[in-house]
Structure 1
Amino acid sequence: MTKSQAIQHFGSISVLAKALGVTYEAIRQWDEVPELRQYQIERITRGALKAKQQSGAA
């Protein structure tokens, strides 16, 4: 998911921040949604937003 998709789903950065238990400024600093936050958002939204599958190098 992209940062803009997450913000759009929640309606604002403030609401997203509250849902994640982080500050508004923390989210503003993201270039991309961190991987673990993506999984947290996926769980909070009950799958409405999906975490990107990261390809792990062995």
Structure 2
Amino acid sequence: MNKSDAVNHFGGVVRLAEALGIQSQAVSQWGEKIPMRRAYEIEKLTGGKLKAVTESKTK
């Protein structure tokens, strides 16, 4: 999952941070790739709508 996907899903950086129980500054420090621990938390919070790990399309 990309940071922009999570931010859009929650309606902004502040709301994403609130859902995770962290400060918005912490979210702002992430690159486009979300730290894996947080990605799994987001997957759980969204009921699987956002996946922590995306499947590779290379064969």
Shift of 1:8: 0.3
- Report percent identity of matched pairs: 47
Q: Find runs of 4+ consecutive structure 1 residues off by over 6 angstroms.
A: none
1:1-58 Cα deviation digits (max 9, x unpaired): 00000000001000000000010100000012100100000000000100116xxxxx
> Structure 2-normalised TM-score?
0.86
Gaps of 5+ in 1: 54-58
Gaps of 5+ in 2: 55-59
Aligned pairs, number:
53
Residue 35 of structure 1 corresponds to which residue in structure 2? 36
> Structure 1-normalised TM-score?
0.87
**Aligned alpha-carbon RMSD (Å):** 0.9
